Amino acid sequence: MFPAILVFVVSFVDPPTEAAHSAFPLKVSENGRFLVDQKNKPFLVVGDSAWSLIVQPKENEIDHYLEDRAKRGFNSLIVNLLEHKFCTDPPRTRAKAAPFLKAGDFSTPNPAYFDFAYQVVKKANDRGISLWLFPAYLGYGGGDEGWFREMKASGKANLRSYGRFVAKRFKDLPNLVWAMGGDFTPDKSDQWTVFEIAEGIREEAKSTPQSRLLASRAGSRSTPSTAMRN
């Protein structure tokens, strides 16, 4: 059902000094073995984990962090679009903006929250940093670290609609790689929680001139290439 999901491995190595910006969006090489930019230049992921970047730091701290990482040669960050647990006031931003108008209801996205998130992603893009963005991180074991329970409660149609919503909101930012799942592999009967958002993103992406990569992160006892087959 979902053969186009990219399995990724992020390399955490000693970063070089600030590098020239890549031509986003990223894509898979013609031989299917590595990532390249729009000029077909190979892209080595030099990444940092900034899961709570959107909600935890103050705005000036976000700027400082991104500037520092760019100067140190980092070109990729893993970030949660929605933070369920690991911030001062989850899932709200420092300005108290919540992602949903009704708590945990994926059918009620809050425009103010996603406008702020857009600015964070844009700041990264302006510095030549790709964001591997989880639209809804499942959470270890499907527990309170992520959104798996709320995703199930919201239902298939609302998750599909949410996928279209976020794809449309961020469609003009080429530095995105959408990352699905997150430290948990649902049972086959519940994998629609991942697929519906991904399909919503793919549907909306058809209207954009350049597609975005979809990546997957599975649980610790499985790999994305085997866990998310249907």
Question: Average pLDDT in the 9-23 region?
Answer: 63
Query: Residue 3 has what pLDDT?
Result: 42
Residues 6+ apart with CB under 8 A from 23: 37, 38, 39, 41
* Single pTM value for the model: 0.87
Q: Is the pLDDT of residue 211 over 60?
A: no
35-83 pLDDT per residue, tens: 999 999 999 999 999 999 999 999 999 999 999 999 999 999 999 999 9
CATH architecture classification, 6-227: Alpha-Beta Barrel (3.20)
| DSSP alpha helix (H) spans, 52-170 | 59-71, 111-126, 148-154, 156-169
Query: Residue 1 has what pLDDT?
Result: 42
Q: Is the pLDDT of residue 33 over 60?
A: yes
Please indicate whether residue 20 or residue 228 has the higher confidence score (pLDDT).
20
111 burial (CB, 10 Å; 0-12 / 13-18 / 19+) is exposed
127-158 pLDDT per residue, tens: 999 999 999 999 999 999 999 999 999 999 99
Query: Residue 157 has what pLDDT?
Result: 98
Q: Is the pLDDT of residue 91 over 60?
A: yes
* Average model confidence (pLDDT) across the chain: 89
CA distance 28 to 148: 29
Q: Is the pLDDT of residue 194 over 70?
A: yes
Q: Is the backbone peptide bond immediately before 109 cis, with ω within 30 degrees of 0?
A: no
Calculate what percentage of the chain has a pLDDT beyond 70: 83
**Ranges of each domain in the chain:** 6-227
Query: Residue 209 has what pLDDT?
Result: 58
Residue with tokens 């425009």: 111
For 191-208, b/e burial (b = at least 16 CB within 10 A) is: bbbbbbbbbbbbebbeee
Q: Is the pLDDT of residue 214 over 90?
A: no
CA distance 30 to 163: 27
